[in-house]
């Protein structure tokens, strides 16, 4: 058997395999419900949870290479943590649960994440959970696949999140790890959280209360006295810090509401475009391979002596060239879908641009980004503490930009 003949047979087999891959898979939208603690837990035994802004998983260069829309990913990096916060709050298994960018406050448990994939059809998140002692509970990848029915408003509750199952699984895994803790473990975590916050404002008083190992694990060296006046002032400062964190939640709640409708529409269209793009790519590959096979067959026929076979060879070459052209046309059509997704991403980014928050504490007005405002807020708290302890003069009313 000649090399050309073997090539022809291989191409024909490949074409058959590709054209036979068009089966439809129906994906379920059912998911695990949230698990609740079987018995009520006393408030002092609950842990507070902070969820950081997620890593988008791509930068400008890799986004272009992978066909991901960076502006959408940046919005999702805020949206997914907000969904997890809401799910954890609804579980009733924790103390306060807050979305805090950059871990800018002290919490008992931290949830960090990275977006691995998000295209409307699939959501993959990498989640890492760590407590304030520095101990990592676990790192795990979560994956959800949405059915086309998830975006059918006629049969789907308008407020149902297509990937709620992913958030529920995260919440349930967190509960499993929490239930492994002994009461002494919980008390230790809460105390270290408090001492880490205290030493930010009074390092001279609290630096020697905890130590950190080379592996980043915090341990308690000694405890402050229960009636320590410095600790009492720190408690008041922390209450004010909680007030600001709660104000941030209003901002993220507003952001989520603003994002909800355009993002739902983008995911619905992205889902359709993702499926259509995959089908077009499969069709394009099949047409190209089939076309090349026809061209090779035509060349083989051209090499024969029979005039009939020779004519068939010419026809085969022409038909093959046409099939190749069709395959290339399909690729151009696929590019149109990619451009449509890019336009959707740009539009979404424009609609979701966060507005500046103005926070009036009767002494200052904060402005700038959320991170900038938090930095300013911590500076104000530091000044309040120093003023109360006689280390600084009271600040006058002013605006911090």
Pick the range with the lowest mean pLDDT from 51-55, 247-251, 302-306, 363-367. 302-306
- pLDDT tens digit sequence for 194-226: 999 999 888 888 889 999 999 999 999 999 888
Asked whether residue 14 is assigned to any structural domain, the reply reads: no
Asked whether residue 124 is assigned to any structural domain, the reply reads: yes
Rounded Cα–Cα distance for residues 316 and 313 (Å): 5
Asked whether residue 266 is assigned to any structural domain, the reply reads: no
Count of structural domains within the chain: 2
Q: Higher confidence at residue 118 or residue 274?
A: 118
What mean pLDDT, rounded, does the chain reach? 76
Asked whether residue 166 is assigned to any structural domain, the reply reads: yes
pLDDT(92) > 90 = yes
Beta bridge partners of 113: 127
pLDDT(89) > 50 = yes
Asked whether residue 27 is assigned to any structural domain, the reply reads: no
Q: Higher confidence at residue 51 or residue 338?
A: 51
How large is the angle between the packed helices 229-302 and 307-351, nearest 10 degrees? 160
Per-residue confidence (pLDDT) for residue 151, from 0 to 100 = 79
- 377 and 248 share a domain? no
- 365 and 238 share a domain? no
pLDDT(361) > 60 = no
* Average pLDDT estimate for 293-301: 53
* Average pLDDT estimate for 72-95: 92
Neighbour tally for 223: CB within 10 Å:
12
pLDDT(123) > 50 = yes
Q: Of 228, 258, 288, which residue is a domain's last?
A: 258
Asked whether residue 246 is assigned to any structural domain, the reply reads: yes
- 98 and 241 share a domain? yes
Q: Of 258, 288, 319, which residue is a domain's last?
A: 258
Q: Of 258, 287, 311, which residue is a domain's last?
A: 258
Please check whether residue 43 is in contact with residue 95, taking contact to mean a CB–CB distance below 8 angstroms: yes
- 63 and 204 share a domain? yes
Per-residue confidence (pLDDT) for residue 358, from 0 to 100 = 46
Asked whether residue 151 is assigned to any structural domain, the reply reads: yes
Residue 255: pLDDT band with limits 50, 70, 90: confident
Q: Which of 117, 29, 113 is nearest to 72 (CA)?
A: 117
Pick the range with the lowest mean pLDDT from 35-39, 63-67, 396-400. 396-400
String of b and e for 325-359 (b: at least 16 CB within 10 Å)?
eebeebeeebeebeebbeebbeebbeebeeeebeb
Asked whether residue 25 is assigned to any structural domain, the reply reads: no
* Average pLDDT estimate for 61-75: 79
Enclosing domain of residue 233: 41-258
pLDDT(274) > 90 = no
Pick the range with the lowest mean pLDDT from 96-105, 108-117, 260-269. 260-269
Per-residue confidence (pLDDT) for residue 281, from 0 to 100 = 62
Residue 81: pLDDT band with limits 50, 70, 90: very high
pLDDT(398) > 70 = no
- 225 and 86 share a domain? yes
Q: Higher confidence at residue 274 or residue 392?
A: 274
Burial status of residue 65 (CB atoms within 10 A of its CB: 0-12, 13-18, 19 or more): exposed
Q: What share of the chain is helix, strand, coil (3-state, %, to 5)?
A: 60, 15, 30
Pick the range with the lowest mean pLDDT from 51-60, 82-91, 256-265. 256-265
Please check whether residue 195 is in contact with residue 220, taking contact to mean a CB–CB distance below 8 angstroms: yes
Of the spans 26-35, 142-151, 166-175, 343-352, which averages the highest pLDDT? 166-175
Rounded Cα–Cα distance for residues 72 and 56 (Å): 9
Pick the range with the lowest mean pLDDT from 60-74, 118-132, 172-186. 60-74
Of the spans 65-69, 173-177, 392-396, which averages the highest pLDDT? 173-177
Per-residue confidence (pLDDT) for residue 16, from 0 to 100 = 47
Residue 400: pLDDT band with limits 50, 70, 90: very low
Per-residue confidence (pLDDT) for residue 142, from 0 to 100 = 97
């Amino acid at each position: 058997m000649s090399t050309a003949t073997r090539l022809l047979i291989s191409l024909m087999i490949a074409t058959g395999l590709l054209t036979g891959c068009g089966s439809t898979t129906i994906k379920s939208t059912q998911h695990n419900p949230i698990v609740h603690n079987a018995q009520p837990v006393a408030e002092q035994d609950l842990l507070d949870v902070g969820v950081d802004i997620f890593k988008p998983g791509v930068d400008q260069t890799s986004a272009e290479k992978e066909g991901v829309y960076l502006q959408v990913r940046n919005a999702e990096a805020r949206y997914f943590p907000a969904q997890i916060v809401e799910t954890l709050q609804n579980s009733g298994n924790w103390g306060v649960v807050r979305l805090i960018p950059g871990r800018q406050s002290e919490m008992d448990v931290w949830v960090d994440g990275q977006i691995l994939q998000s295209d409307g059809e699939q959501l993959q998140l990498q989640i890492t959970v760590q407590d304030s002692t520095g101990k990592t509970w676990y790192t795990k990848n979560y994956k959800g696949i949405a059915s086309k029915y998830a975006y059918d408003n006629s049969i789907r509750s308008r407020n149902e999140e297509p990937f709620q199952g992913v958030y529920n699984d995260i919440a349930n895994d967190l509960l499993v790890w929490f239930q492994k803790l002994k009461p002494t473990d919980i008390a230790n975590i809460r105390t270290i959280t408090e001492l880490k916050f205290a030493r930010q404002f009074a390092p001279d008083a609290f630096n020697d209360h905890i130590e950190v190992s080379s592996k980043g694990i915090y341990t308690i060296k000694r405890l402050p006295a229960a009636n320590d006046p410095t600790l009492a002032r720190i408690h008041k400062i922390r209450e004010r810090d909680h007030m600001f964190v709660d104000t941030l939640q209003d901002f993220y709640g507003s952001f989520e509401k603003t994002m909800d409708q355009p993002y739902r529409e983008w995911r619905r269209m992205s889902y359709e475009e993702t499926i259509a793009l995959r089908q077009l790519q499969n069709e394009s590959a099949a047409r190209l391979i089939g076309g090349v096979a026809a061209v090779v067959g035509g060349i083989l026929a051209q090499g024969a002596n029979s005039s009939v076979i020779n004519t068939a060879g010419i026809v085969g070459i022409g038909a093959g060239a046409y099939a190749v052209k069709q395959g290339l046309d399909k690729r151009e059509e696929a590019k149109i879908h990619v451009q449509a997704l890019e336009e959707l991403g740009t539009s979404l980014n424009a609609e979701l641009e966060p507005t500046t928050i103005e926070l009036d504490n009767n002494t200052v007005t904060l402005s700038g980004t959320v991170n900038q405002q938090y930095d300013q807020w911590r500076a104000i708290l530091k000044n309040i503490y120093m003023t109360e302890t006689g280390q600084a003069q009271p600040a006058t009313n002013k605006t911090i930009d």
